[in-house]
Structure 1
């Protein structure tokens, strides 16, 4: 599980430029989320990494087209 979290944070750091405090907060949140997935039975580190990265992107709004600046106009 720790390898998946490290991979998530490395990939997320490439996508988003965040302060150290924000990165630590994101790591805490994704650790809790991935822990729940792991306890629920998901053991594949690649799948955990994808789910964790998706979770972080949803939290910061980067998957929301409106928050990303797309208005459809």
Structure 2
């Protein structure tokens, strides 16, 4: 699970310019989210990565998923 979180954070850090504190908070939130998905039965590491990145984008609020054309996963 830690490798998935590391992949998510590495990728997202390339896309977003955040402070270390904001990055730490994002890591905690996405870790809890990925844990929830995993406990619900999702095991595909690629899907978990995409879900984690999508979750972080939604938390940032910079992109409205509906306006961007996202209707769900």
Which TM-score tier does this pair reach, normalised by the shorter chain? 0.7 to 0.9
Structure 1 portions without partners, runs of 5+: 66-73
Structure 1 residue 2: Cα displacement: 1.1
Which segments of structure 1 move beyond 2 Å, counting only runs of 4 or more?
none
Structure-2-length-normalised TM-score: 0.85
- Residue matched to 2:62: 62
Structure 1 residue 62: Cα displacement: 2.5
Alignment of 1:26-65 (within 5 A): 26-64=26-64
1:14 and 2:14 matched: yes
**Count of residues paired in the alignment:** 65
Conserved? CA contact 1:3–1:45, under 8 Å: no
Structure 1 residue 59: Cα displacement: 0.4
Aligned CA-pair RMSD: 1.1
Q: Which has the larger radius of gyration?
A: 1
Structure 2 portions without partners, runs of 5+: 66-73
Structure-1-length-normalised TM-score: 0.85
- Residue matched to 2:71: none
Structure 1 residue 64: Cα displacement: 1.6
